[in-house]
Amino acid sequence: MSLVNSSAGGVLEPILERYSRNPHYLMQILRETQEHLDFIPQWAVGYLAEALALERTQVQAVIDFYAFFYDSPHGKYRILFSDNVTDRMQGNAALLSRMLSKFGLAQGQVSGDGLVSIDTTSCTGMCDQGPALLVNSYTVTRLSSQRIDQICELIKGQTPLKEWPAEFFRVEDNIRCKDVLLSTEMVNGQALKRAVELGPQGMLAEMKASNFRGRGGAGFTTGVKWEVCKNAPGEMRYVVCNADEGEPGTFKDRVLLSSFSDRIFEGMTIAGYVIGASKGLVYLRGEYRYMLEKLQATLEARRKTNLLGKDILGQKGFDFDIEIHMGAGAYVCGEETALIESLEGKPGRPRIRPPFPVTNGYLGKPTVVNNVETLAKATLIAQKGGTWYQSLGMKLSTGTKLLSVSGDCDRPGIYEYPFGVRIAQILEDCGARNAMAVQVGGAAGTCLARHEFGRKIAFEDISTSGSFMVFGNNRDMFEVARNFVHFFKHESCGFCTPCRAGTTLMCDLLDKIANGKGTDYEMNELSRLYQLLSTASHCGLGQSAGRPVNDTLQKFRPSYDRRLKQKDFVPAFDLDAALAPAREIMERDDIGAHLGTDL
Amino acid sequence: MLSLQETPERKLRVATVSLAGCFGCHMSFLDMDENLLDLFELVKFDRSPLTDIKHCGSCDIGFIEGGVCNSENVHVLREFRNNCRTLIAVGACAVNGGLPALRNQLDVREVLREVYFEQPGVVSSTIPNDIELPLLLDKARPINEVVRVDYFIPGCPPSGDAIFKFLTDFIYGRTPRLDYPLIRFD
């Protein structure tokens, strides 16, 4: 026992020390533990629980909640194929089975020698350069059969990840269309200096004058959010950057984080200056692990130039610093209160609102949670003024929006447009010649058919967090909806029954229809479940989980109908086969030991 | 002409059965006390443990307690579906599989061996077997996995009041609705 503990201490103590044995860093401690040990063994659970003064079950609950934490061996190389519908369209299924057969494994199985496991995961945000996979949380893009074969060889040769070809891990920005954010130059510190000149009230006034609304999807007015937080009672305040970009088909935050991170950090610092916070937290999704070191280097450079740290820009008492927290594969953590729970080292279950984070956020303190794009754009408002910004875009949707365009088009990538741009314009620009449908806003968004391509991207019309997936004429929209609903089932946090059970039931119904056993009964049930999910779920995940089905049922009904049986009802399973085990043990085969298919 | 109806023009025919259930839902049905008298003004019973009629004639309502655990349950359930205009799943077993579905984690062959050979005190050398005996399905199922089901009354068992409210709503043409006090059990 002492032997185990001393070796346990050998690995875990430095990690625990780095995080000052603070249980709020449990997620980070578990991630680093797994990076050392390939999984989180039971002895480590016990050791960490004791060291952090937590119950063992609290540690276990966090491991169980997040898809990227393993409490049993999952191999030295843990492969997760991104399984968004765009990866499917790029042929990930064939590549997955190719890799499985090379190792003679079933999906989710760990090889006998403990070398490798292969499974799928939700969208990894590489839709413009997929199919993609994660190996031990690091992203590999542009998969092809050749690349899969090379990866299999590297794994068989037990080549460390560091020695794999850098080309495998190359992530392109693919910026295709620039507007004010992506084309305006900024010297680091420029926007912050301007904010300091204006003073906290002055900067807040600019934010309010801009009428700028948050870019994470909900579209709350950012200036108002900052003001409420600033005025909320409390000693400590926090700025949180939501970089948990999990909505399938969204990758604009990835590009901002990798090429415009100074703007994001500067935006956080401005927010901190306005509301009077001294600490900022970036919640970076686990799928973007590859960016962590680079982002930390950027933070370090900003500290060296006094853009972070104490007395920033010589302003006495303007102290602000930023930490990066990594997520571990949970879409629901994009919801701000779930994200805060996760930052506190707990399973990411959405809280009951109100109270809202602006008054009771991180550690119960007033907290501003803003999307990556929101914070980046705050720097632009500081640079150029709120009135200028307010003149761009539409009345209730000022400024520009970054769109992540993927799917059936010639030029997938990032497009920045003023609000009010029409769907047809975007389709033309990205080279989508035969688009039949566009899914705007991700799996939780809106499915638009051709007759709606005149509609606009704006809070007044089609609001979006930035995902824009194009589906060509030959695509099967039933399968698109089924992919999304399976995504929601996988990502449901399990807290409320309508969502936990409802997403499962919806998957079962769609699978039954896909298996050719659907009838009108299932179609009615789908509509009923959609109503239930959208009205009774605790958070936005469950409330929107039925939307892809509802939209495609309205707009692509024949893709459902052609799968249906012209019957009243058909069971999902084979009744006669269900009697087979009993027939076997009873050694019977008479007519009474069989069931026909007809009523 | 539309007119307000005090009572439906004719009595509705109701058939009831307990499949893989415990008859608890039927007991609860009887537990509606004096409401039974009102109900009998509105309905007439066809096949049911209350009448001992063995096969179901053409009915308006089929009231199904219990899930589906063997081939006989399948035949009976199909008979109800074929003869009843509206089928209602009553109670946890019919709705979700309930207690009998606890065996779904186990292989049915293992279950039979355990029961007829392994249990202490059991003196037996065979599993009861006869052409008359129905075979067990590999899993106990809720009834809506075997036939189309129109309505569900949750509860283990649903209270007599809940059943009465549901049936009278239905008989008078209102969409049946059980308010919270009728479906809470704590």
In chain A, residues with a C-beta closer than 8 Å to the C-beta of B84 are none
| pTM above threshold 0.95 | no
Q: How far is A589 from B68, CA to CA, in rounded Å? A: 21
In sequence order, the β-bridge partners of residue A401 are: A417
Instruction: Note the pLDDT tens digit of each residue in B159-179.
Output: 999 999 999 998 888 889 999
Q: Which residue is listed with tokens 């039927």?
A: B26
In chain B, residues with a C-beta closer than 8 Å to the C-beta of A580 are 138
Q: Check pLDDT > 90 for residue A149.
A: yes
What pLDDT shows up at residue B186?
Answer: 64
Q: Where are the alpha helices (DSSP H) in B19-157?
A: 24-30, 35-42, 71-83, 91-96, 108-113
Q: Which residue is listed with tokens 């019309």?
A: A461
Tokens read off for A252: 């604009």
Enumerate residues 6+ apart whose C-beta is below 8 A from A79. Answer: A99, A116, A117, A118, A119, A133, A134, A135, A151
Q: Check pLDDT > 50 for residue A2.
A: no
A572/B138 Cβ within 8 A: no
Q: Check pLDDT > 60 for residue B111.
A: yes
B81/A592 Cβ within 8 A: no
Q: Taking the alpha carbons of A228, A232, A236, A242 in that order, is the dihedral positive or negative?
A: negative
Instruction: Note the pLDDT tens digit of each residue in A86-98.
Output: 999 999 999 999 9
CA-based nearest residue to A120, from A139, A143, A93: A93
A592 touches chain B (CB under 8 A): yes
B139/A582 Cβ within 8 A: no
Q: Is A265 strand, coil or helix? A: helix
Where do the domains of chain B lie, and which CATH numbers do they carry? 12-101+137-174 (3.40.50.700)
Evaluate whether A173 touches A414 at the Cβ level (below 8 Å): yes
Of A572, A575, A581, the CB nearest to B109: A581
A588/B129 Cβ within 8 A: yes
Report the Cα–Cα distance between both ends of chain B, in Å, rounded.
Answer: 47
Could you check whether the bond before residue B157 is cis, i.e. omega within 30 degrees of 0? yes
In chain A, residues with a C-beta closer than 8 Å to the C-beta of B139 are 578
Evaluate whether A119 touches A81 at the Cβ level (below 8 Å): yes
DSSP of A561-592, one letter per residue?
A: HTT--SSS---SS-HHHHTHHHHHHHT--SGG
In chain B, residues with a C-beta closer than 8 Å to the C-beta of A529 are none
Give me the torsion for CA of B17, B23, B24, B30, rounded to 10°.
70
Going by pLDDT thresholds of 50, 70 and 90, the confidence category of residue B7 is low
Give the H/E segment covering residue A575.
helix A575-578
Q: How far is A18 from A99, CA to CA, in rounded Å? A: 38
Going by pLDDT thresholds of 50, 70 and 90, the confidence category of residue A284 is very high
Of A568, A571, A581, the CB nearest to B107: A581
Q: Which residue is listed with tokens 């010297």?
A: A187
Instruction: Note the pLDDT tens digit of each residue in A192-241.
Output: 999 999 999 999 999 999 999 999 988 999 999 999 999 999 999 999 99
In chain B, residues with a C-beta closer than 8 Å to the C-beta of A586 are 127, 129, 135
What pLDDT shows up at residue A3?
Answer: 41
Going by pLDDT thresholds of 50, 70 and 90, the confidence category of residue B1 is very low
B135/A569 Cβ within 8 A: no
Q: How far is A469 from A408, CA to CA, in rounded Å? A: 8
What pLDDT shows up at residue B8?
Answer: 59
CA-based nearest residue to A31, from A10, A48, A6: A48
What pLDDT shows up at residue A1?
Answer: 39
ipTM exceeding 0.90? no
Distance from CA of B3 to the nearest CA of A (A): 31
DSSP of A462-481, one letter per residue?
A: B--SSEEEEEETT--HHHHH
